[in-house]
Structure 1
Amino acid sequence: MEQLMDIEQLKKLSPEQQEQVILGVKQQAAIANAQNLITELSEKCTQKCITAPGSSLSGGDKQCLQRCMDRFMDTWNLVSTTLQKRLQEEMQRGGGMLGGSSFS
């Protein structure tokens, strides 16, 4: 298991090393986000569409699941794109949440 770093350890890293840490955190966040998306999608659409659990899905259940997943993904993509644009606009105005990528 990787050892966690505190802020003092991060400050001692070179800018390149800090950037690598930031990239790793972003990658881990993206993976966690994808896992959460799949879990939420499965739970919501299964609860909505599977009316009579059994060994196979009815045609109506399959159609409901497909439509539910399509709507869920379309909505998620819209929200994600909108959030990304807002964050980029905020960073361009200089009011980024992190105030830059350096820890020092």
Structure 2
Amino acid sequence: MALFGSSETSSSDSSTELKKSLMQQVQAEAAMSNARLLVAKINENCFERCIPSPGSSLSAGENTCLSSCMEKYISAWNLTSRTYVARVQSEAKKMGASADVLGGL
């Protein structure tokens, strides 16, 4: 029992705020990590496919190839991400957990 009845409530409120803050930070770091991974994969796959012999500038064909490759890769990445998030949320609901606990991924 808390003296004057307020310390447990304020402690609980600050704990909840801390958890929310930490979840937001983890989500931001995960998003940044995913963005870095996406850029690395695009560089690895599209560069190798579209630029057989690097030079001082890109040819029109290389530029077109890179643009097309990047668009396809990003579209596939986005589709995969949406499908993954939907699956995680579905599994969380099956287990009785709220999707809010996952922070909406």
Per-residue deviation, 1:44: 1.1
Q: Which runs of 5+ in 2 are unaligned?
A: 1-13
Amino acid at match of 1:37: L
Instruction: Answer 1 or 2: which has greater helix percent.
Output: 2
**Rg: which structure is higher?**
2
Partner of 2:16: 15
1:92 and 2:93 equivalent?
Answer: yes
Q: Percent identity?
A: 37
Runs (4+) off by over 3 Å: none
Letter in 1 for 2:44: E
Which structure has more relative contact order (CA 8 Å, sep 6+)? It is 1
TM-score, normalising length: structure 1: 0.74
- CA contact under 8 A between 1:51 and 1:61: conserved in structure 2? no
Q: What RMSD over aligned residues (CA atoms) do the two structures have, in Å? A: 1.7
**Aligned residue pair count:** 86
Unaligned runs of 5+ in 1: 1-12
**SS of residue matched to 1:14:** helix
In 2, distance between residues paired with 1:71 and 1:83? 18
